[in-house]
């Protein structure tokens, strides 16, 4: 396996600025607004309900779900313990996205 290519937000901003032919500042504003929107939809849609789901066709699905309380074990001591109920977020890439990743040589 080769080294992992790591990207940061400014790489995405640069890509969007170049692709959409926008000034850097406008591209950054758009990216920040989109990411904030995704987060707010997931958090706001989850409060008080079972969860939230955001589908971006051709990209994937973000989803939040309730997790029930369950029994577990403390892996350091081996003693049983309760794992509290909570929420989790998941992302499932679209078929198109998965196929694009699989097609990388």
In order of start, what are the domains of the chain with their CATH numbers?
Answer: 1-47 (no CATH), 48-105 (4.10.520.10)
Residuewise pLDDT in 10s, the chain (105 residues): 679 999 999 999 999 999 999 999 999 999 999 999 999 999 887 666 778 999 999 999 999 988 899 999 998 998 999 999 988 999 999 999 999 999 986
pTM value?
0.76
CA–CA separation, 105 and 102 (whole Å): 8
Tokens read off for 42: 């997931």
Q: Are 54 and 62 contacting, i.e. CB atoms less than 8 angstroms apart?
A: yes
> In the block, which residue shows the tokens 């849609």?
45
């Amino acid at each position: 396996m080769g080294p992992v290519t790591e990207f940061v937000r400014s790489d995405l901003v640069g890509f969007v600025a170049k692709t959409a032919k926008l000034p850097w500042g406008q591209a950054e504003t758009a990216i920040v607004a989109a990411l904030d929107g995704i987060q707010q939809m997931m958090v706001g849609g989850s409060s008080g309900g079972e969860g939230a789901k955001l589908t971006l066709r051709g990209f994937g699905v973000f989803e939040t779900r309730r997790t029930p309380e369950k029994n577990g074990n403390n892996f350091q001591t081996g003693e049983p313990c309760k794992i509290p109920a909570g929420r989790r977020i998941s992302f499932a890439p679209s078929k198109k996205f998965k196929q694009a990743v699989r097609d990388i040589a």
